[in-house]
Amino acid sequence: MNMRSRLNERLATQRDQPTTAIPSGIRRIVRGVSGGDEAGAQLLRGLAWKFRTFLILSVIANVCAAVFEGGTMAILTAALEYVGGSSDTLDQLGTVSNITQSFEEHFGMGGVFGALVGLAVLMQIGRSWFDFSAQSAAAYLRAWSEGDLRRRIFTQFTTLSYANISKYKVGDLSSFVGEVDRVGNLITFANHLIGHLTIIFAYTVILFWLSWQLTLIALLGVLLLSFSLRSVRGHIRQRSTRFMNAYVSINTRIIEFLGGMRLLHTFHQQSYARESVEATIDDSVRARRQSMILASSVPAIVQSLTIIGVALFLTVGYFAVQRTGDTTLIPRFVTFVFIVYRMLPRVTGLNAALARVNEEFPFATRLAAHLRTDDKQYLQSGTLPFLQLNESIKLDNVRLRYADTQHDALTGISLTIKRGEMVAFVGESGSGKSSIVSLLLRLYDPTSGEILVDGTSVEKLKRGDWLGRIGVVDQNTFVLHASVRENVRFGRLDATDAEVEQAAKIANAHDFVMELNEGYDTIVGDRGQQLSGGQCQRLAIARAVLRDPDILILDEATSALDSQSERFIQDSVGALRENRTIIIVAHRLSSIMHADSIHVLRDGQITESGTHQELIAKKERYYSFWQLQSSS
């Protein structure tokens, strides 16, 4: 197995491991850099530990680059001193000193100087390649981390309970995926921090070697500078948080208005939509502008103060040489000033990277809050397998109250749906019809009471097994931006083309599909824009039929169909009744006349039950509905 294969295998193993065992050192470093924000810091710590292979490679490469950079400064100091007649530095370099002595014997002073300069050049080339290696490792770390975050975000979307995920706005959900790039920026800036810190440390070691007194003065100035910039970084973080909130709001509003474009045109409210979005954009522009200006001010402040410090060192050095008259100090002092000046962009880069980290960090905090698991409700599944419905579905004193509401959607519902029956629910909007369907589909669980399937609580059954035996057609038909064939096959992904077409025939969709330009291969467009509402609904019915379900649920399934299509669907449903349980939520009473039992709901309670003829004979609420629809 080659090195690449071993590395990929190790990374695959790391992706599957928990990220809890994170060393305390990483915890302290990340929290300190981030300004003490624990949620965002924890997210970054987890990524750093999960993909620690690339992090370690990056750190090692940065350290090697710093060593080569520091070595270059030492060699240059030795070269300058050698030309000035001193060999103190060469004597301290051990092996290098022995090599230069050999060069001096064969090539003279010029040869030694050339060899030292050549060695310095080679070390700089080595430093450049280590820099490249560090950047490459950081690029891998960023790519793996962004991929991991996107997987985790989408997994979070798909594993949250329906009650939980329905609280989010679509714009909020889409913005989470876009914010992964901002966390990727944080990883890049973190690598810059590591690179700057290691080089600064190497420079500091050389500076101490040259003059510990001047180095202490320089370090004191750097510490005071960094401390004074903390308040600037705090302001940057505040402005960035404000920009993030506005950014999310922009996404949410734009997606909402794009989804309601027909409504905007119908009510001529395009101006309102523009003004609403523009107001939010203006707020985001102000916050973004302020944070970027503050971030841009950091390098200017650092460079200005550092160049003043260099000038002070030059002045001090001049007077030191004048006072002592020792010209051998000049090479070391020149090197000292050169290193300090070379450190200038590193100190600037360090503070700029810290500013950018604080600018991007609110996005990591927001993502961390979304990925938390302790404050959310997830899909629950039982452990018992479910093969088919053998006897009945029983709702036993079921009550349902949605979150953040004051009233029950269903109150004490008790009924039995026997295998093979066609059962219908009717009532006014908000009476609880669709709530019963939501409970059967386990979109919600009862607040109290239970649903029994062949005598077993539905919550004890494997969710996939239970839903796998149900076919559903909702009143709000969702059509994929794909071909007709793919839309129908979504009901059962392993279905053959012949099975797809047979399902379409049962749903009275085959004829109109064959009239499309490319038949079953026709792309229906976003949300089925190429089809009418009735055609979309017939595709949804075909999708449900393709599953060959034990239980077929039609939630206002014929609401968008014309009378002729509705009659065909009724005939198809009649043909499907054998060995299937059919549950219908209907507004058109003509579609449920042949149901085995009809339940009338009002305010979350069943007020009437019976066949069509029995309910007509009672002349109560169902009779009123029938009279109203018959007369119209």
Name the domain boundary from 328, 346, 371: 371
Whole-number Å distance between alpha carbons of 353 and 191: 9
Which helix (H) or strand (E) segment holds residue 412: the answer is: strand 410-418
pLDDT at residue 14 in the model = 41
Name the domain boundary from 524, 548, 572: 548
- State whether residue 26 is helix, strand or coil: helix
Which helix (H) or strand (E) segment holds residue 400: the answer is: strand 392-400
Whether residue 438 lies inside any domain: the answer is: no
CATH code of the domain in which 540 resides? 3.40.50.300
Any idea of the CA torsion for 586, 589, 591, 597, to the nearest 10 degrees?
A: 80
Q: Are the CB atoms for 453 and 466 separated by under 8 Å? A: yes
CATH code of the domain in which 34 resides? 1.20.1560.10
- 532 Cβ contact list (under 8 Å, min separation 6): 560
What the block records as the tokens of 432 is 């609880």
pLDDT at residue 440 in the model = 92
Same domain, 234 and 351: yes
Whole-number Å distance between alpha carbons of 486 and 466: 23
Q: Are the CB atoms for 594 and 574 separated by under 8 Å? A: yes
Q: Are the CB atoms for 258 and 305 separated by under 8 Å? A: no
Whether residue 607 lies inside any domain: the answer is: no
Whether residue 85 lies inside any domain: the answer is: yes
What the block records as the tokens of 106 is 């064969």
Q: What Rg do the C-alpha atoms of the chain give, in angstroms?
A: 36
Whole-number Å distance between alpha carbons of 363 and 356: 12
Same domain, 125 and 248: yes
Which helix (H) or strand (E) segment holds residue 427: the answer is: strand 422-427
- 510 Cβ contact list (under 8 Å, min separation 6): 501, 504
CA 171 vs CA 98, 230, 250, 409: distances in Å:
69, 34, 8, 28
Same domain, 31 and 178: yes
Pick the closest to residue 486 from 512, 449, 521, 437 (CA basis). 521
CB-count exposure of residue 319 (10 Å: 0-12, 13-18, 19+): exposed
Mean pLDDT per 10-residue section of the chain, whose length is 632 residues: 48 42 51 58 81 88 88 76 58 55 57 75 87 87 84 82 76 72 81 85 82 74 68 68 70 67 60 73 72 68 67 66 61 73 75 76 80 80 89 92 85 90 89 90 90 92 89 80 87 89 86 87 76 80 87 78 66 69 85 88 90 90 85 64
Whether residue 442 lies inside any domain: the answer is: no
Whether residue 236 lies inside any domain: the answer is: yes
pLDDT at residue 600 in the model = 92
CA 318 vs CA 264, 273, 325, 330, 374: distances in Å:
75, 68, 10, 9, 64
Whole-number Å distance between alpha carbons of 598 and 474: 19
CB-count exposure of residue 65 (10 Å: 0-12, 13-18, 19+): buried
pLDDT at residue 17 in the model = 42
- 152 Cβ contact list (under 8 Å, min separation 6): 371
Whether residue 625 lies inside any domain: the answer is: no
Q: Domain of residue 496: give its range.
A: 471-548
Same domain, 336 and 188: yes
Which helix (H) or strand (E) segment holds residue 456: the answer is: strand 456-457
Same domain, 193 and 311: yes
Name the domain boundary from 485, 517, 548: 548
Whether residue 301 lies inside any domain: the answer is: yes
**Angular region, 412: left φ>0, alpha ψ -120 to 50, beta rest:** left
Strands in 470-616 per DSSP E: 470-473, 551-555, 581-585, 597-602, 605-610
Q: Scan for tokens 């790039």, then name that residue.
A: 181
Q: Are the CB atoms for 419 and 356 separated by under 8 Å? A: no
Pick the closest to residue 75 from 97, 60, 103 (CA basis). 97
Q: How many domains does the chain have?
A: 2
Q: Are the CB atoms for 271 and 186 separated by under 8 Å? A: no
CB atoms within 10 A of CB 386: 21
Whether residue 240 lies inside any domain: the answer is: yes
